[in-house]
């Protein structure tokens, strides 16, 4: 079967760190172009300064991977879908829920694949965690997601703007795992969002959720963590405690610990290829809905100005 000719749009940190290596190692894809308004792209690949220019003058493409900031993603995705070009959306899938709904409708109408990728769901421990929890009674869930924004998002001004999500940019990864592994839906009961005086998006958040069966959940997000970083989900059940550490890579069950290699972005591309081959879309907005609910219902604190 012919390889899927793909272009990467938005050649920032995540594109270079993750998308390019995953595409290079996947025989289902052939990287044929990139779009980057501000740099020359990568050696040997045609680079364009806009998606418009690529579609008008570039090589034929079957798919794009959209790695731009979320605030500009709708226009680009919609332009691609209108040309029947399949779209892989980095997380979060947009700046608003309603625009993602509109893209999903457009994909269905044009018979084109739209994939809202949640990379953390492809972490090594997630699938076995989901399988183990399937028949357990959930008693309590604790999520701690604390990292150093200066290390992970250096100079990314967009992330502090409205729609950039602030500390929910990493926090949505935890929610993408929790919504995948827990056997019940859950929803927010209270939230406090702390926003630096000089920024529009929160740097920290304390959240409480409950599952539909009534089990309490807490979530502690902070971008001011120096030293060791924390990306941990602990689920207490009637059969003992499950722990997912290092963002989902390390799973500990009552029977012991399993530590597997990071396969997140390769897993995403395997899934995207399968969706394109099958002519299907996968647009789960549940993690994004929970974030919108935190902004909708959360209490806001102003905290000390923060510069990176």
Question: Is there binding between residue 185 and a copy of itself (CB under 8 A)?
Answer: yes
Tell me, by CB under 8 A, how many residues bind a copy of itself: 33
Residues 236-255 contacting a copy of itself, CB under 8 A: none
Residues 187-216 contacting a copy of itself, CB under 8 A: 187-188, 190-191, 200, 212
Nearest approach, Cβ of 46 to a copy of itself (angstroms)? 29
Is 122:199 a contact under the CB 8 Å cutoff?
no
Cβ-based nearer residue to a copy of itself, 35 or 290: 290
Angle between helices 97-110 and 73-82 (to 10 degrees): 10
Annotated catalytic residue, options 13, 91, 130, 246: 91
Nearest approach, Cβ of 69 to a copy of itself (angstroms)? 12
Query: From start to end of the chain, where are the E strands?
Result: 4-9, 29-35, 46-48, 63-66, 86-89, 114-116, 138-146, 186-196, 204-211, 216-222, 230-237, 240-245, 250-253, 256-259, 299-303
- The three-class DSSP label of residue 65 is strand
User: Residue 200, Cβ neighbours under 10 Å: how many?
Assistant: 12
Nearest-angstrom CA–CA distance, 28 and 141: 38
- Rounded to the nearest angstrom, the gap between the alpha carbon of residue 3 and the centroid of all alpha carbons in its chain is 25
Q: Which of 63, 77, 129, 290 binds a copy of itself (CB under 8 A)?
A: 290
Nearest-angstrom CA–CA distance, 112 and 103: 10
- Closest of 90, 60, 57 to residue 76, by C-alpha: 90
Nearest-angstrom CA–CA distance, 194 and 221: 10
Tokens of residue 84, six digits: 């029947």
Q: Which of 12, 30, 96, 156 binds a copy of itself (CB under 8 A)?
A: 96
Question: Is there binding between residue 275 and a copy of itself (CB under 8 A)?
Answer: no
For residue 136, indicate whether it is catalytic.
Answer: no
Nearest approach, Cβ of 50 to a copy of itself (angstroms)? 18
Residues 139-158 contacting a copy of itself, CB under 8 A: none
Nearest approach, Cβ of 200 to a copy of itself (angstroms)? 6
Q: For the window 157-176, what string marks contact with a copy of itself as x by the rule CB under 8 A?
A: -----xx-------------
Rounded to the nearest 5°, which phi and psi values hold at 143?
A: -115, 125
Question: Is there binding between residue 270 and a copy of itself (CB under 8 A)?
Answer: no
Nearest approach, Cβ of 165 to a copy of itself (angstroms)? 8
Q: Which of 41, 46, 106, 229 binds a copy of itself (CB under 8 A)?
A: 106
Active site residues: 91
Q: Residues in the site for a copy of itself, rule: CB under 8 A?
A: 74, 78, 95-99, 101-102, 105-106, 162-163, 185-188, 190-191, 200, 212, 286, 289-293, 295-300
């Amino acid at each position: 079967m012919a390889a899927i000719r793909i272009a990467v749009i938005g050649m920032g940190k995540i594109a270079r760190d993750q998308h390019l290596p995953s595409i290079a190692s996947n025989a289902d894809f052939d990287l044929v172009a990139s779009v980057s308004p501000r740099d020359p792209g990568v050696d040997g690949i045609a680079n364009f300064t806009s998606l418009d220019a690529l579609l008008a003058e570039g090589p034929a493409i079957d798919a794009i991977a959209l790695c731009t900031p979320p605030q500009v993603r709708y226009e680009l995705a919609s332009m691609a879908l209108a040309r029947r070009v399949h779209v892989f959306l980095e997380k979060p899938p947009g700046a608003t829920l309603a625009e993602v709904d509109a893209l999903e409708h457009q994909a269905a109408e044009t018979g084109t694949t739209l994939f809202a990728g949640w990379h953390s769901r492809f972490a090594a421990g997630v699938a076995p965690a989901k399988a183990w929890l399937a028949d357990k009674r959930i008693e309590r869930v604790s999520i701690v997601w604390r990292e150093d924004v200066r290390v992970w998002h250096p100079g990314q001004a967009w992330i502090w703007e409205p729609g950039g999500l602030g500390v929910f940019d990493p926090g949505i990864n935890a929610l993408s795992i929790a919504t995948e592994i827990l056997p019940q839906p859950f929803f927010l009961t209270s939230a406090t969002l702390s926003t630096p005086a000089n920024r529009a998006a929160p740097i920290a958040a304390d959240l409480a959720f409950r599952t539909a069966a009534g089990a309490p959940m807490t979530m502690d997000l902070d971008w001011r963590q120096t030293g060791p970083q924390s990306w941990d989900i602990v689920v207490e059940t009637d059969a003992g405690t499950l722990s997912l550490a290092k963002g989902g890579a390390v799973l500990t069950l009552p029977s012991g610990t399993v530590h597997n290699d990071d396969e997140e972005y390769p897993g995403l591309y395997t899934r995207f290829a399968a969706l394109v081959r099958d002519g299907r879309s996968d647009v789960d907005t549940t993690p994004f809905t929970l974030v919108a609910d935190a902004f909708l219902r959360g209490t806001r604190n102003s905290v000390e100005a923060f510069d990176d």
